[in-house]
Amino acid sequence: MPTSVTTPREKRGLKNWQFILLFVAAIAVILVAFHLLSGGLFLQWSNVTGILARTAYPSFIAWGFCFLFACGYTDMSIGGVVVLGSFASCILGNWFGLPGVILGGLAVGMLLIFINFLIFTYSGIPSWIAGISLAMIYEAIAFLLKISNGTKALVSTSLAMEYRLLGQLPWCLLLLLVGLVVVFFLYNRTTVGLNIRALGGNKDVAEKLGINVKKTLLYVGLISGVLIGFACFLQQSYAGQTTVKTGLTSINIIFQPLAIYLLAQIIQKRINIVICVPICAFILYSIFNFLTMVGVPSGTLQEFFLGAFIIAFGIIGSRRVKGVVK
């Protein structure tokens, strides 16, 4: 029988199931604390469902980031893609009803992210530079397509109320659950998922082991495209309209999903990152919701709390997990 090799990481103090238990308990305590501090408002059913409905579309964007970052690329144009995809979802939705809502968002999201990856793969330009350039292009296109001239801001016309079904409960939650299962298997249990992660882990090794780098990158474009496409129509269905200005302001759209991804990344050593994403989205929007309830002004002060929370979360999540290379 072969002897086994142990590493220091194996011997870490807290077992995963203990961490999960503690994690769930900590969330429960925080939610109860929010409830008490908000005068019994926070855990009211209508409030909780509101938070749940809000987690859907940022979760899809954060899952898109999982694939993007796993292969070692960054795409700063995703905000611009979401704006254009949401426009398409809105326009086609108002023309063709629910199928138009879905098709509009999916088609534009998929197409643009796939185009992005074609550019990243074949141009050789660093993806973050190409991404910023593409974000400017997409914002400019959105500006040209603007429907309302009421303000300097670009405000699209609203999606008709009867077609906003997918942004509401239980449908958005159902889509989130289906997305969770599909993305979990795609990321963790498919050859393409493993190849994508191999590419980000060590491109040279991946290439030498016969992984087709260009093909894998295009798969990333396709998968992320579908996920961003879902985010587009879910966003439009949830909010009913999309607002953006030029000057790279579309990047604002990706900040919250990015925060979700970062939170998920912190605890991925304990819980699979795909599962972490909706959990972290719920935590994040619970915090925003609570801060709003207790009268903390949105914008600067809320962002201060968000930043502080991510740092605190990172410190706690990284404790006792150590990668030792000997």
What span, in angstroms and rounded, lies between the C-alpha atoms of 313 and 303? 15
192-229: b (≥16 Cβ within 10 Å) or e: bbbbbbbbbeeeeebeeeebebeebbbbbbbbbbbbbb
Q: Which of 124, 151, 299, 324 binds another protein (CB under 8 A)?
A: 324
- Give the count of residues interacting with another protein (CB under 8 A): 36
Applying the rule CB under 8 A, the residues between 219 and 248 that interact with another protein are: none
Binding segment for another protein (CB under 8 A), chosen from 151-159, 203-211, 245-253, 274-282, is 203-211
- Closest contact distance (angstroms) between CB of 67 and another protein is 13
What span, in angstroms and rounded, lies between the C-alpha atoms of 236 and 299? 22
Q: Which residues contact 144 (CB under 8 A, 6 or more apart)?
A: none
Binding segment for another protein (CB under 8 A), chosen from 32-40, 114-122, 159-167, 204-212, is 204-212
Q: Does 322 bind another protein (CB under 8 A)?
A: yes
The dihedral formed by the CA atoms of 22, 267, 252 and 170, expressed in degrees to the nearest 10: -60
Q: Which of 44, 148, 202, 292 binds another protein (CB under 8 A)?
A: 202
The tokens for 25 are 């308990």
Beta bridge partners of 148: 155
Contact 52, 60 (CB under 8 A): no
Q: Does 198 bind another protein (CB under 8 A)?
A: yes
Q: Does 124 bind another protein (CB under 8 A)?
A: no
What binding mask, one character per residue, do residues 57-76 give for another protein by CB under 8 A, x or -?
-------------x------
Binding segment for another protein (CB under 8 A), chosen from 76-84, 148-156, 199-207, 253-261, is 199-207
The tokens for 257 are 């999903």
Binding segment for another protein (CB under 8 A), chosen from 32-40, 157-165, 198-206, 291-299, is 198-206
User: Which amino acid does the sequence have at 169?
Assistant: L
Binding segment for another protein (CB under 8 A), chosen from 42-50, 52-60, 112-120, 317-325, is 317-325
What binding mask, one character per residue, do residues 26-45 give for another protein by CB under 8 A, x or -?
--------------------
Question: Which of the 8 DSSP states describes residue 125?
Answer: -
Q: Does 17 bind another protein (CB under 8 A)?
A: no
Q: Which of 54, 164, 197, 270 binds another protein (CB under 8 A)?
A: 197
Q: How many CB atoms lie within 10 A of CB 22?
A: 13
Contact 305, 313 (CB under 8 A): no
- Closest contact distance (angstroms) between CB of 90 and another protein is 33
What span, in angstroms and rounded, lies between the C-alpha atoms of 89 and 60? 16
Q: Does 274 bind another protein (CB under 8 A)?
A: no
- Closest contact distance (angstroms) between CB of 198 and another protein is 5
What span, in angstroms and rounded, lies between the C-alpha atoms of 205 and 198? 8
Q: Tell me which residue has tokens 């993305």.
A: 183
Q: Does 6 bind another protein (CB under 8 A)?
A: yes
Write out the residues near another protein by the rule CB under 8 A: 1-11, 70, 185, 188-191, 194-195, 197-198, 200-202, 204-206, 208-211, 322-326
